[in-house]
Structure 1
Amino acid sequence: MSAALVAGLLAGYGVAVPVGAVGAYLVALTARTSLRTGACAALGVATADGLYALLAVLGGAGLAPLIAPVATPLRIGAALVLLTLAVRTARTALRARRADGGPLRAQAPPSPARAFLTLLGITLLNPLTVLYFAALVLGDGPHPPAGPDRAVFTAAVFAASASWQLLLAASGALLGRALTGPRGRLFTALASAALVGGLAVRLLLTG
């Protein structure tokens, strides 16, 4: 069981630590809203990682042939969602700035529940995550972990991913406090939109 715990922690940090489009959006979202919203979004990412880890230990070798045919459509879907978020962020920032020339006010800031579901959905659209966990599980032998080890591995993946995503959310909250003026918030919104949009285009071009 201790081996499954260590393997789960390493796998969770392995998939979470590289900051890609989802991580960048999480930081930007927290900077524009609140730590509570960012924390819920972070748990959405961790929940997706935990679900995919569970699928890996339950499905093992059967996952790869099922995911492979839809990997490209899922990747394109994830990129389009991120592009939509980038455009919406920039448009909201510019409209609020033009409206009164005062502080940037988001017209419809996402609720914590909505942030959770949004990040959960975006992360679930990434087929490479489940393939990553499946490869790790199969690397230990021809059969997935059995019994309590499955639960331990999955819980460890969730805990590792959650701790890292919450750290990203906290950094976004600190960034938001540092940029509290009208120009600072406008810059944060436009910069985050450009970053997420660029990462989405890169995701589209990756094949």
Structure 2
Amino acid sequence: MSELMTPALAGAAAGLGVAMPMGAMSVLLLQEAMRDRRTAVAAAAGIAAVDLGYAALATAVGPWVASHISPVEAWVRLASAVILLVIAAHGLSGASPASGASAASGASVASAASGASAASGASPGSVSAPVSPPAPAPTPKQAPAPPARPARAFARYVGLTALNPTTALYFAALTTAQGAALGTGPAGAAFLLGVGAASLLWQQALVALGSLVGTRVPDRARVWTFRLGYGLVAAYALKIAFPLPALGFSP
């Protein structure tokens, strides 16, 4: 049992590394949770299913690739580590307060636009009385669209998440570098169990957060999810990079 704990924990760390950074899918999931918790639970399961599917595909192919490139295995590990470090650096470069500021500026532009459109008509609560003819009676407000069915939400989020190639590249680099460790069936299954459980638990935690507080997640909290998630990716990269390959120079 103890020999399976290591790949399971490795899978959990890998699953959190890809799931924690709060990008576009996380915001969509929070909005889904505000509308209907049942559909959000299904949507979260769809995101975790794609993470698990990519991890399963990479775990099936990675050991085969590693077994055919054993003479240069150290160099493959180093190349995989570089890919993971690039993914982490790219993610961390967006984990700055500037990203929150840009979102805020976008929101202010949207509110300014809505304010301008409201000013073009007869806006309620204006200071001066309008000199134009009385505005027509307001039309009744549209009823909010009914929430999607859970099965539909699951399929929608599977499709949206699968379009992200970074997830596939992430797991391909991880499992190719650890081909020998994941070569046995039980170890690979434990790794996948860790990936699926960690991703699903994180997505369901977002659903609970969305149903409680909505999308008003502070920018600082979002930045820290990026730092923690991509920090795990960077730590993984350093772990698989060592020991470094020998240059092979003879004295």
TM-score, normalized by the shorter chain, greater than 0.5: yes
Q: For residues 126-182 of structure 1, give each alpha carbon's deviation from its aligned partner in whole angstroms, at most 9, with x where no partner exists.
A: 111011011111222567532111111111101000000001111111135xxxxxx
Gapped regions of structure 2 (runs ≥ 5) = 66-113, 115-137, 216-251
**Structure 1: which 5+ runs fail to align?**
63-93, 177-187, 189-207
Would you say how many aligned residue pairs link Structure 1 and Structure 2? 141
RMSD value, Cα? 2.4
CA distance in 2, matches of 1:158, 1:142: 21
Q: How do 1:118-133 and structure 2 match up within 5 A? A: 118-133=156-171
Give 3-state SS (helix, strand or coil) of 2:206's partner. Answer: helix
Report what 1:159 is aligned to: 197
Tell me which of the two structures has the higher relative contact order, counting C-alpha pairs closer than 8 angstroms and 6 or more residues apart.
Answer: 2
TM-score, L = length of structure 1: 0.62
- C-alpha contact (below 8 Å) 1:39/1:169 kept by paired residues: yes
Report the AA paired with residue 57 of structure 1: T
- Over the matched positions of the two proteins, sequence identity in percent amounts to 41
Say which one has the larger Rg: 2
Alignment partner of 1:17 is 2:55: no
- AA aligned to 2:44 is A
- Kindly indicate whether the alpha-carbon contact (under 8 Å) linking 1:137 and 1:145 is maintained by their aligned counterparts in 2: no
Hey, what's the Cα distance between the residues in 1 that align with 2:211 and 2:7? 33
CA distance in structure 1 between the aligned counterparts of 2:199 and 2:144, rounded to whole angstroms: 29
1:58 aligns with 2:98: no
- Could you tell me which amino acid in structure 2 is paired with residue 2 of structure 1? M
Normalising by structure 2, we get a TM-score of: 0.51
Partner of 1:197: none
- Match of 2:140, as an amino acid? D
Change (3 A) 1:163 1:143: closer
| 1:58 and 1:144 in contact (8 A); partners too | no
Which residue does 1:44 correspond to in 2?
A: 46
**Helix, strand or coil at the partner of 1:100:** coil
Paired residue for 2:188?
Answer: 150
Please state which structure has a larger fraction of its residues in helix. Answer: 1
